[in-house]
Amino acid sequence: MNLRLPLEIHDRLHIGPANSPAPVTWISRVEELAGDTLVVRWPAEGGKPVPISAGQELTIAFGQSSTVHEFEAVVIDMVSEPAPLIAVRPSSPVRSFDRRSDVRVQALVRIELMAKVVRLAAFREARRQQRIRAQTMNLSAGGFVIRYQAAVSVDTVFGVRLALPGERRQPIQVNAAVVRCLPLEGESGLPESYELGFRFLRLSESARSRILRFIFAVQREAKPDD
């Protein structure tokens, strides 16, 4: 199976175990392109090569503009000298996903929010809503939505701890601001809860990559096989 991908030497790659329930990803780069074989830098963590074995199937992804391309590949060779490299051969067609921040998926992700005082006038409200534990209704690299039993003022800022399912890493920590608060009517016709929409503030590239990786995994599972 030929790659036929617009890859060039030194292009950045994200590599992880194929079919893994956790959105594991390591950073690599293209070292050589030769027909149907792709040679990449052996990813490392803590200065040591990550555990990869011959015959293992990996998921490889790379981004261009607003699109992420992803495919599976089988490890056919590995060398540690003079540089740690692995050679892979594609084993699946290429899948492409839109990676814009507004791409949103329905996902139940555990989240904890701590109110932050950003203006003196917000002090009392921040104390009333000091801590919220919930699950997201949907998630994107731009923000998330939760359901909460009380109204919260737009522009209220929270410190967020976001634990992505399957990850064995520390939760993502970032600030987020409320951008909408919509009442959800109960059987009595009165609001029984509120839909709160949040926008991330200064999300790091590392955290954004982790969220996008999770979103792509959710999209891939939801997409029917061709």
Residue that is last in its domain, among 98, 117, 144: 98
Which pLDDT score, from 0 to 100, does residue 185 have?
73
pLDDT band for 42, please (50, 70, 90 cuts): very high
What is the C-alpha separation between 163 and 136, in angstroms, rounded? 11
| 2: in domain | no
* Same domain for 144 and 75: no
pLDDT band for 74, please (50, 70, 90 cuts): very high
Alpha-carbon distance values, 31 to 63, 70, 83, 88, 144 (Å): 17, 18, 10, 12, 37
pLDDT band for 66, please (50, 70, 90 cuts): low
Per mean pLDDT, which range of 24-38, 113-127, 153-167 is the poorest? 113-127
What is the C-alpha separation between 43 and 27, in angstroms, rounded? 6
pLDDT band for 117, please (50, 70, 90 cuts): low
- Cα 14 to the center of its chain, rounded Å: 12
What is the C-alpha separation between 91 and 131, in angstroms, rounded? 47
Comparing 125 with 203, which gets the higher pLDDT?
203
Which pLDDT score, from 0 to 100, does residue 87 have?
94
| 76: in domain | yes
| 135: in domain | yes
Residue that is last in its domain, among 52, 83, 98: 98
* Same domain for 76 and 28: yes
The whole model's pTM is what?
0.56
* Same domain for 70 and 18: yes
Phi-psi region of 46 (alpha: psi -120 to 50; beta: other; left: phi over 0): left
On the 0-12 / 13-18 / 19+ scale of CB atoms within 10 A, 187 is exposed
| 1: in domain | no
Residue that is last in its domain, among 55, 70, 98: 98
* Same domain for 137 and 68: no
* Same domain for 145 and 71: no
* Same domain for 213 and 129: yes
Q: What is the CATH number of the domain that holds 128?
A: 2.40.10.220
Say if residues 146 and 134 touch (Cβ distance below 8 Å).
yes
Say if residues 216 and 24 touch (Cβ distance below 8 Å).
no
What is the C-alpha separation between 20 and 149, in angstroms, rounded? 35
| 118: in domain | yes
| 6: in domain | no
* Same domain for 178 and 131: yes
pLDDT band for 167, please (50, 70, 90 cuts): confident
What is the C-alpha separation between 19 and 215, in angstroms, rounded? 15
- If one counts the domains in the chain, the total is 2
What is the C-alpha separation between 200 and 208, in angstroms, rounded? 10
* Same domain for 67 and 133: no
* Same domain for 78 and 117: no
| 3: in domain | no
* Same domain for 121 and 137: yes
| 57: in domain | yes
| pLDDT digits 0-9 by tens, 208-221 | 878 887 887 787 77
- DSSP tag of 208: H
> What is the span of the domain harbouring residue 77?
12-98
- DSSP tag of 42: P
* Same domain for 142 and 157: yes
Hey, which bits of 35-130 come out as E strands?
Answer: 37-41, 44-45, 48-49, 57-64, 67-79, 85-90, 95-98, 105-106, 110-116
**pLDDT at residue 37 is higher than 60:** yes
Which pLDDT score, from 0 to 100, does residue 226 have?
46
**pLDDT at residue 102 is higher than 50:** yes
Say if residues 29 and 41 touch (Cβ distance below 8 Å).
yes
Q: What is the CATH number of the domain that holds 81?
A: 2.30.110.10
* Same domain for 117 and 91: no
